[in-house]
Every structure is written in structure tokens, then in C-alpha cells.
Amino acid sequence: MRYKETSDLEISLLLEAIYRKYGYDFRQYSQAHIRRRIMSRMVMSGFEDISEMQSTVLNDESFAATLLQDLSITVTEMFRDQSFYKSLRENVIPILKTYPFIKIWHAGCATGQEAYSMAIILQEEGLYDRSIIYATDFNQNALNHAKEGIYSTSLIKEYTTNYQLSGGKESFSNYYTSNYDNVIMNQSLKKNIVWANHNLVTDSVFAEVNLILCRNVLIYFDRELQNNVQTLFYNSLINGGILCLGAKESLRFSDVYEKYTEWDPRQRIFKKKY
């Protein structure tokens, strides 16, 4: 019965408390999603109600860290959505080739798989040495994992299939070294990736880039917050720069929509107008 008795007001007060105390702002995330995550933590940790949980959040930093992990979903894959990566190779790489130096921003990179996928493509296209990849997330644990580049062997089969179906030119096993239950990504893929903590809600522009990938992050935000983040991206892209969103994400409802052309609408790839 606890679900029914927990009001929206209690949830928003908890989010307000998290924001005021820790600076993490979830107030404009999908309410249904946040509510589910908070309630499942409440049940798992054995709290009677939200106010009991709230006082623990405020007084116990390690519990707060646990809750922040619950609120950040880091599910990701290498070469997720093969048709997207195919289009990236066909329709975006030729543009990147025209630049003497290439800056790429992965916003919400989670545990790094997307950034490594990009590094592999850049290597195969002969662009890696003149590229720098900024891979950012607000979840430091995920970033630490990303930086290590160690993934469970059990995932590799799926990643290999994804890689092949997305137009990969080599054998995927060239890109990692196996070590019992894990694989570790090659140093040569890591050397031009900069991993950094950046919060899309509260931090601002940090570089001017040629390409932004922000996939499956904005779905968690309400329309107003999506719009703010789209403005941040717009201001971070050079003229003619490319923005890639997730398969189910759209630019149409944001103020900057008119300032882009649809480069590959099916794959949600947009080009900033000059």
C-alpha cells in the first residue's frame, strides 16, 4: 500500500532536498521514472515512508550516493542501433574528413561503450589521430568504469554482432585483450578520449565541437529541460556541426529546431545551419 500513500508532493520535496544539499537536480526528470526508482529504493532499504528516507538522504552521504546511482540509468551497449552507426559512417564521417582537427562530444556516455564505438570507427576511417573525444556524464562511477574500459566477456558476443552489422571493417577482437572473465579495450582507442564529469542540467558549454552525440539521455527529461539542453548543444556546435540523438528522441519540440537541417531524419541526425 505504500505506493498509493506516497504523494507527488513528498517526492518533489525529496528531490528539492537532494538538489539543495547535493546540487543534483532531478526536479525536471520524468516523474513516473523518478517515482519508480525512489519507491524501489525505499522498499529495498526498508524505509517506512519517504520522510524517513529523506532524513537519511540528508544526513548520510553514502546513502545519498546510493540513491544518486539509482537515479542514473547507465544501461548502454557498443554499437547500439546498428542502422545509426551505419548512417554515421556513410553520412557523417565524410563531413568530419573535411576538418583538419575534429572535436566530438558524447554527452551522457555512461560506462563508455558509445565513445569506444566512435573511437573504433574513427580509427577505421583514418581520422582518430586528428580527433579528440570528450566523453562526459554526471555519474562518476560510470565514468571511472568507462575510463578503465573493462567489460565482461559475456557481453562481447552481442557487441561483436552489433559491430559487424553496423558496417565494421575489421575483426572486433582486434580492439581488446581478453583476460579471463573480462576484456580490456586497447590503449590505442583510449589515448584521445577525455573523460570528464559534466552535468547537463547545471553545467554549461565547455568546448566548441564538430559533432555531438547525446543518445537516450534526453528521454529522461521533461520538455522544458530538453529544450534547455538543446540550447546548450546548439551553443557548443560549430556552424555546420552535427547533432545525433537517440532512436526515439526528437528535436522538433525545441526552440532550435529551425536552426538545423534534418541530415538523416530516420536516424535522428541533424546538421546545424550556417
Partner 1 sequence: MKYEAIVMGVSSGGMQAMKVMFPLFPKDFKIPIIIVQHIGVQSDGEWIKILNHNCNLHIKEADEKETIETGNIYIAPPNYHLLVEKDKTFSLTIGERVNFARPAIDILFETAAEAYEKKLIGVILTGSNYDGTKGMERIKEYGGLTIAQDPETAASSFMPAAAIAAMQPDHILSLENIVKLLLKIT
Ligand X SMILES: C[S@@+](CC[C@H](N)C(=O)[O-])C[C@H]1O[C@@H](n2cnc3c(N)ncnc32)[C@H](O)[C@@H]1O
- List residues near ligand X by CB under 6 A: 72-76, 80, 108, 110, 114, 137-139, 142, 199-201, 215-217, 220, 246
Work out how close the CB of 28 gets to ligand X at its nearest, in angstroms, rounded to a whole number: 10
Interaction residues for partner 1, span 25-54 (CB under 8 A): 30-33, 35-36
Interaction residues for partner 1, span 58-97 (CB under 8 A): 73, 75-76
Residue 237 vs 244, nearer CB to ligand X: 244
Work out how close the CB of 246 gets to ligand X at its nearest, in angstroms, rounded to a whole number: 6
Work out how close the CB of 138 gets to partner 1 at its nearest, in angstroms, rounded to a whole number: 17
Work out how close the CB of 58 gets to ligand X at its nearest, in angstroms, rounded to a whole number: 21
**Cα–Cα distance list, 223 to 38, 169, 218, 243, 265 (Å):** 22, 39, 9, 18, 20
Indicate the Cα dihedral angle 5, 8, 9, 10, nearest 10°: 60
Helix, strand, coil percentages (3-state) for the chain, rounded to 5, are 50, 20, 30
Work out how close the CB of 102 gets to ligand X at its nearest, in angstroms, rounded to a whole number: 19
Residue 51 vs 144, nearer CB to ligand X: 144
Q: Which of 153, 235, 250, 261 binds partner 1 (CB under 8 A)?
A: 250
Q: Note whether 216 binds partner 1 by CB under 8 A.
A: yes
Cα–Cα distance measured from residue 41 to residue 25, given in angstroms and rounded to the nearest whole number: 18
Give long-range contacts, CB 8 A cutoff, 24+ apart: 259-268. Answer: 259/234, 263/91, 263/92, 264/87, 264/91, 266/83, 266/87, 267/81, 267/83, 267/84, 267/87, 267/88, 268/84, 268/244
Q: Note whether 169 binds partner 1 by CB under 8 A.
A: no
Indicate the Cα dihedral angle 162, 247, 117, 151, nearest 10°: -70
| Contact positions vs partner 1 (CB under 8 A) | 1, 3-4, 8, 30-33, 35-36, 73, 75-76, 216, 219-220, 223, 248-250, 253
